[in-house]
């Protein structure tokens, strides 16, 4: 399963970077979304694909008993999802305002308005 996920992650990174190099703002935002999803899958895959028990501490014990899943990658992915949503929301608001002011979504035309 890991080789399939490695190919999917590489494809998502490649597609995200390709879309971010386009001149259109909408494609840039879609590229950012793909990059954030690729990062989430990378963390998920790096943690290992194991089906173990939830890391719950039974009553009267000091730590989880037996073989349990590591909760750290799950927390990292949840944090990455929240940060990704924040970045995408900020980017969409910024691009919407730029489109209102300039009237185009072409990055080359926006660059010409700097002077």
pLDDT digits (tens, 9 = 90+) for 41-95: 998 888 877 667 777 888 888 887 777 777 888 888 999 999 999 999 999 999 8
Tell me, yes or no, whether 66 lies in a domain.
no
Q: Cα torsion at 12, 18, 22, 24 (round to 10°)?
A: 0
Tell me, yes or no, whether 92 lies in a domain: yes
Count of C-beta atoms within a 10 Å radius of residue 3: 7
Per the structure, the complete domain to which residue 12 belongs is given by 2-50+71-114
pLDDT at res. 63: 80
Residue 16 belongs to a domain: yes
Find, among 32, 40, 39, the residue nearest to 16 by Cα: 32
| Angstrom distances, CA of residue 19 to CA of 12, 25, 69 | 10, 10, 36
56 in a domain, yes or no? no
The answer to whether position 63 is within a domain reads no
**What's 42-61 look like in SS3?**
HHHHHCCCCCCECCCCCCCC
Task: Give domain status of residue 88, yes or no.
Answer: yes
Tell me, what's the pLDDT at 24? 87
Domain holding 82: CATH number? Answer: 1.10.287.3510
Answer yes or no: are the C-beta atoms of 77 and 43 closer than 8 Å: yes
Looking at the structure of the chain, the number of domains it has is: 1
């Amino acid at each position: 399963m890991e080789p399939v996920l490695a190919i999917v992650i590489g494809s998502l990174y490649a597609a995200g970077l390709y879309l971010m190099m386009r001149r259109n703002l909408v494609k840039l935002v879609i590229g950012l979304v793909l990059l954030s999803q690729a990062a989430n899958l990378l963390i998920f895959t790096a943690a290992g694909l194991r089906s173990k028990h939830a890391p719950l501490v039974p009553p009267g014990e000091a730590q989880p008993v037996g073989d349990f899943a590591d909760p750290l990658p799950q927390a990292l992915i949840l944090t990455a999802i929240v940060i990704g949503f924040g970045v995408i929301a900020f980017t969409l608001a910024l691009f919407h305002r730029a489109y209102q002011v300039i009237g185009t979504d072409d990055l080359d035309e926006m660059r010409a308005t700097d002077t």
